[in-house]
Amino acid sequence: MEPKIKVEKLTKIFGKTPQAAVKLLEEGVSKDEILAKTGDTVGISLVSFDVKQGEIFVIMGLSGSGKSTLIRCLNFLNVPTSGKIIVDGENVVEFNKEQLSNYRKNKVAMVFQHFGLFTHMTVKQNVIYGLEIKEIEKEKREQLAMDAINKVGLAGWEDKYPSELSGGMQQRVGLARALANEPEILLMDEPFSALDPLIRRDMQLELLEIQSELHKTIVFITHDVNEAFKIGDRVAVMKDGVFIQVGTPEEILENPANDYIKDFVRDIDRTKVMQAKNIMFTPSTLTYGKDGPKVAINIMQKLGISSIFMLESNRKLKGLITIDDAIRAVKEHLPVDDILTKDYHVVEPESYISDIIPLATESKYPLAVLDESERLMGIIARVSVLAGLIETDGNGTDEEQIL
């Protein structure tokens, strides 16, 4: 599939001799040297990346690294000095006035760090404003505005003024205003940075919830690594106007490109990034209808484990057998059905380790990772969760099992 946004060698120079500065960048001259030589500031330098349809692409970096410059180039609040911005196959940089105006009205919408609301307008008036500019008829724009206000959880607040709202609520208005335009692409420049930590967390979750319904293509900026890794499908780490590394949060955690990135991710809470699918492994299993208690004992003894899962032929999880029960079944000639237990915890492949820890704590058995059809994708040994042993990449073997 074609990427939604394809950025090629995008450069923005602030200063008097931008074209000369671009030439120097292409020759490999650094941002600092260019400033010293020409007095021009490099905002972003020859940046290339793709954003997929429906993806949340996060750009993270310290203050001054070029994040805002980049995102403002994407909707032409900053006019790029050189490079291409290809959206749905069309190069925005080559748009004429009318095409650009259409693009900004219909394709993209921006959410700003400091909300950018009109203080003399109510919530609804703020949200509706962009729709009036688009000359959408009254009834339709009322409906779009109220839909957006409901979506961000502000129903009942539509006639209040921004000064009557908390920061988090004001940013909900900012988000509603962007959503009401029904853009395909949302550009969000540090939208939650001005909010208290708790409100911020709510807003992050809410954004993810809205996104799971709307599937927008989102470019999201933050300087907070935890926020970046929580929200981003992929994350780009920016420094001095260039991307140092682009990857999924797991890829960046597992393979930091250099010491700068290592430093950046040092304090990240891995349990909030790594998911069940990252640490599960494929266990030996029994087949229902074929394997009895004797086979179960054999396998458990061979592997030195004390419980084993039993699957139906379509890999659907049937139950678990413990070594004690298997021995009892052999002694008392019990059928398998009598000793199959369901006394284990089930998690989804996408469950975060932080959410799995409480289950692992109270569970006697490994955790079963099931897909939507209840097929066993893998299992997670309790100790690997509890001891924080989350270094494996899901390729573990039976020999590594400590159950």
Ligand X SMILES: Nc1ncnc2c1ncn2[C@@H]1O[C@H](COP(=O)(O)OP(=O)(O)OP(=O)(O)O)[C@@H](O)[C@H]1O
Work out the burial of residue 192: count CB atoms within 10 Å of its CB; fewer than 13 is exposed, 13-18 middle, 19 or more buried: buried
Q: Which residue, among 208, 401, 376, has the nearest Cα to 277 in the 3D structure? A: 376
Scanning 58-66, 178-186, 301-309, 345-353 for contacts with ligand X by CB under 6 A, the matching segment is 58-66
Tokens in use for 128? 């509706």
From the CB of 44, what's the least distance to ligand X, in Å? 7
| 53/127 Cα distance (integer angstroms) | 25
- For residue 200, which phi and psi values (nearest 5 degrees)? -60, -40
For residue 307, state whether it binds Mg ion (rule: CB under 5 A): no
- For residue 190, which phi and psi values (nearest 5 degrees)? 45, 50
How big is the site for ligand X, counted in residues (CB under 6 A)? 12
From the CB of 36, what's the least distance to ligand X, in Å? 14
Nearer to Mg ion, 170 or 222 (CB): 222
From the CB of 113, what's the least distance to ligand X, in Å? 8
From the CB of 60, what's the least distance to Mg ion, in Å? 11
Which residues, in sequence order, are CB contacts of 72 under 8 Å at separation 6+?
Answer: 78, 189
**130 touches which of Mg ion, ligand X, none (CB within 5 to 8 A by kind)?**
none
Subset of residues 137 to 156 that bind ligand X, contact rule: CB under 6 A: none
| 333/330 Cα distance (integer angstroms) | 5
Q: Pick from 38, 45, 68, 217 the residue near Mg ion by CB under 5 A.
A: 68
Taking the alpha carbons at both ends of the chain, their separation in whole angstroms is: 42
Scanning 66-74, 133-141, 255-263, 334-342 for contacts with ligand X by CB under 6 A, the matching segment is 66-74
Nearer to ligand X, 39 or 358 (CB): 39
Which residues, in sequence order, are CB contacts of 102 under 8 Å at separation 6+?
Answer: none
Binding track over 9-48 against ligand X, x by CB under 6 A = -----x--------------------------x-x-----
Scanning 37-45, 63-71, 281-289, 319-327 for contacts with Mg ion by CB under 5 A, the matching segment is 63-71
Nearer to ligand X, 242 or 320 (CB): 242
Tokens in use for 283? 């266990």
At 375, is the secondary structure helix, strand, or coil?
A: strand
| 129/105 Cα distance (integer angstroms) | 12
From the CB of 8, what's the least distance to ligand X, in Å? 19
For residue 322, state whether it binds ligand X (rule: CB under 6 A): no
**315 touches which of Mg ion, ligand X, none (CB within 5 to 8 A by kind)?**
none
For residue 64, state whether it binds ligand X (rule: CB under 6 A): yes
From the CB of 254, what's the least distance to ligand X, in Å? 26
Scanning 62-70, 180-188, 359-367, 391-399 for contacts with Mg ion by CB under 5 A, the matching segment is 62-70
Nearer to ligand X, 61 or 168 (CB): 61
* HSE value, Cβ hemisphere, 13 Å, CA-based, for 209: 9
For residue 105, state whether it binds ligand X (rule: CB under 6 A): no
Rama region for 182: left / alpha / beta (φ>0; ψ in -120 to 50; rest) = left
Nearer to ligand X, 187 or 310 (CB): 187
Subset of residues 185 to 244 that bind ligand X, contact rule: CB under 6 A: 223
Nearer to ligand X, 47 or 308 (CB): 47
For residue 67, state whether it binds ligand X (rule: CB under 6 A): yes
**354 touches which of ligand X, Mg ion, none (CB within 5 to 8 A by kind)?**
none
Q: Are 158 and 77 in contact (CB under 8 A)?
A: no
For residue 126, state whether it binds Mg ion (rule: CB under 5 A): no
For 251-266, b where at least 16 C-beta lie within 10 A, e where not — what string?
ebbeebeeeebeebbe
For residue 66, state whether it binds ligand X (rule: CB under 6 A): yes
**43 touches which of Mg ion, ligand X, none (CB within 5 to 8 A by kind)?**
ligand X
Sheet arrangement for strand 307-311: 286-287, 307-311, 317-322
Q: Pick from 65, 75, 217, 322 the residue near ligand X by CB under 6 A.
A: 65
- Cα angle vertex 373, ends 372, 379, to 5°? 75
Q: Using CA of residue 10, residue 12, residue 16, residue 21, what is the dihedral sign?
A: negative
Residues that bind Mg ion (CB under 5 A): 68
Site residues, ligand X (CB under 6 A): 14, 41, 43, 61, 63-69, 223
